[in-house]
Copies of this chain bind each other. A is one copy, B any other.
Amino acid sequence: MISVAVVLGSDSDKAVYERVKNVLSALGVEFERRIISAHRTPDMLKEYVVGAESRGVKLFIAAAGMSAALPGVIASHTSLPVIGVPAVSASPVLGFDSILSILQMPPGVPVACVGVNGGENAALLAVSILALGDASLKKRLRAYREEMRRKVEDKDRRFQEE
């Protein structure tokens, strides 16, 4: 059953998507994916969010750049958890635009913001939430983190021996 909806504001955010996909797939979490723009296709977005909630989707991961309204507009249409990823890719100069647009939501409509281009962490945050009601997923998440620790230890060992 699909529990996570991954929404990109534009196809220029696909690099973020790849990281989300890799983690969710590795941990056995089913998800669906969409490109829907908060500003260009607002009606499609509302329809999708409401429909996804009624089909049983449990949380949203939304990646967007610039004036990144996507995660906030999703949160305006649902009280499910919404995880926002500031996407910083093509635009040459700034980066605070997407961070602050996603982070500084008004009281009452929360978005859980992760770091710039933080697709992996968005997925892991989603997994940590779903794992609250899924003991088997919790086990896989712990194994993932254990594996991450082992990788650091391997790099540390090699670095000491270099």
Which range holds the interface residue count of chain A? 35 or more
Evaluate contact between A92 and B97: CB separation under 8 angstroms. no
- Contact across chains for A125 and B110 when beta carbons are under 8 A apart: yes
Q: Which chain A residues numbered 71 to 86 have a C-beta less than 8 Å away from chain B?
A: 72-73, 75-77, 79-81, 83
Q: How many copies does the complex hold?
A: 8
Q: How far is the CB of A110 from chain B (nearest CB, A)?
A: 4
In the complex, the answer to whether B100 meets A97 with C-beta atoms within 8 Å is: yes
Q: Which of B93, B108, B153 contacts A44 (CB 8 A)?
A: B153
Please, what's the 1-or-0 string for A133-158, where 1 marks a CB less than 8 Å from any CB in chain B?
A: 10000100110010011001101100
A129 within 8 Å of B by Cβ?
yes
User: For A42, what are the chain B residues with a Cβ–Cβ distance below 8 Å?
Assistant: 46, 73, 76-77
A36 to B67 Cα, complex, angstroms? 20
Cα A129 to Cα B125 with chains together (Å): 11
The reply to whether B9 and A106 contact each other, CB–CB distance below 8 Å, is yes
A55 at the interface (CB under 8 A from B): no
Return the chain B residue nearest A150 by Cβ: B41
Query: Are A102 and B41 in contact, with the CB atoms below 8 A?
Result: no
Question: What chain B residues lie within 8 Å of A67 (beta carbons)?
Answer: 69, 72, 100-106, 115
Residues of B within 8 A of A122 (CB): 110
